Amino acid sequence: MQIKRTFGERLFDSFNALVMALLIIVTLYPLWHVLSASLSDSGKLMAHSGLLLWPDGFNLESYKLVLSNPSILSGYRNTIIIVVLGTAMNLIFTIVGAYTLSRKNFMLRNPIMLAIVFTMFFNGGIIPAYLLINNTLHMGNNLMALIVPGLISSYNLIIMRTAFQEISESLLESARIDGAGEIRILCRIVVPLSMPVIAVMILFYGVAHWNSWFNAILYIRDRNLYPLQLVLREILIQNSTDSMTTGAAMGDREAIGESVKYATVMVATLPILFIYPFLQKYFVKGVMIGAIKE
């Protein structure tokens, strides 16, 4: 349908485009800064202040240092396993949970929701969790310890439930009348209709797994099982100029690579940045078309 835009609309569109362009510049800068810094000479970097638009003393030293760390490869491997396996499990449980809790004919849905929200505020802290996972369930030193405790994120569950609630009940009702069971309805109707939200969940859970390192500190002893972020964190701290992270001057340290900090960020971040473009295709309008019979 070709309806002509009004002058006001055209003005708005230009203004919008301008604002967006500005936004791109402003939000791109941090990454650009990090990239330039990672390729800069550490000494020059320490002396530099202000905007960093080009590498100052181009060199690849920092990358060499980070990527030659013996644990980097195993770090990547472990993290990829955790991301893939973890996200898959997260999705299954969260989708099932969100679906059941979105059904208005489920009498217990509000009490259960309240109970779940309660856990977002009150928890027992590190020690009981550790005792449970390590001593009781014997998941210590196993990658499962990094997946199972975080199996369902209450926040994500709530978001997905909100999305599922929007699905027209009549649609599901007619499926039930046709004899479909709940699981079928979930898989054949609800999930396909909710691809945007599910895509977001993949992003949220995937990123969370990718970035996580704290649980590994608690549960993993074997260096070969360290996820990527933990390895990078070690490299970072070992090369840090921040006395906040290095603590007292106990043990002198070698000339520090300031640009290592930035190389670490690049190595840690770049892969995950590429996920979003793939998920963007799910954010297509009109996903509901064709499913609604009225």
Q: Of residues 169-228, which lie at the interface with other proteins (CB under 8 A)?
A: 169-170, 173, 181-183, 187, 191-192, 194, 196-197, 199-200, 203, 207, 214, 216-218, 220-226
CA distance 21 to 17: 6
- 39 contributes a contact to other proteins by CB under 8 A: no
Out of 61, 72, 100, 189, the residue judged to bind other proteins by CB under 8 A: 100
Helix 7-38 to helix 258-273 angle, to the nearest 10 degrees?
A: 130
Output the smallest distance, CB 60 to other proteins, in A: 17
Output the smallest distance, CB 12 to other proteins, in A: 8
Output the smallest distance, CB 271 to other proteins, in A: 10
How many residues line the site for other proteins (CB under 8 A)?
157
Output the smallest distance, CB 178 to other proteins, in A: 15
Output the smallest distance, CB 266 to other proteins, in A: 10
Q: Look at residues 268, 142, 287 and name the one whose alpha carbon lies nearest to residue 215.
A: 142
Residue closer to other proteins by CB (options 1, 54) is: 1
Residue closer to other proteins by CB (options 73, 224) is: 224
- 1 contributes a contact to other proteins by CB under 8 A: yes
CA dihedral over 219, 224, 229, 231, signed as positive or negative: positive
- 107 contributes a contact to other proteins by CB under 8 A: yes
Output the smallest distance, CB 169 to other proteins, in A: 5
- 51 contributes a contact to other proteins by CB under 8 A: yes
Out of 18, 53, 60, 288, the residue judged to bind other proteins by CB under 8 A: 288
- 67 contributes a contact to other proteins by CB under 8 A: no
DSSP designation for 142:
S
- 59 contributes a contact to other proteins by CB under 8 A: no
Question: Kindly report the CA angle at 229 between 225 and 230, in degrees rounded to 5?
Answer: 55
- 162 contributes a contact to other proteins by CB under 8 A: yes
Out of 17, 53, 60, 67, the residue judged to bind other proteins by CB under 8 A: 17
Task: Please enumerate in sequence order all residues whose Cβ is within 8 A of that of 232, keeping only pairs 6 or more positions apart, or say none.
Answer: 66, 75, 264, 267, 268
Q: Look at residues 131, 146, 158, 46 and name the one whose alpha carbon lies nearest to residue 86.
A: 146
Task: Please enumerate in sequence order all residues whose Cβ is within 8 A of that of 86, keeping only pairs 6 or more positions apart, or say none.
Answer: 146, 147, 150, 205, 209
CA distance 220 to 225: 7
CA distance 113 to 131: 27
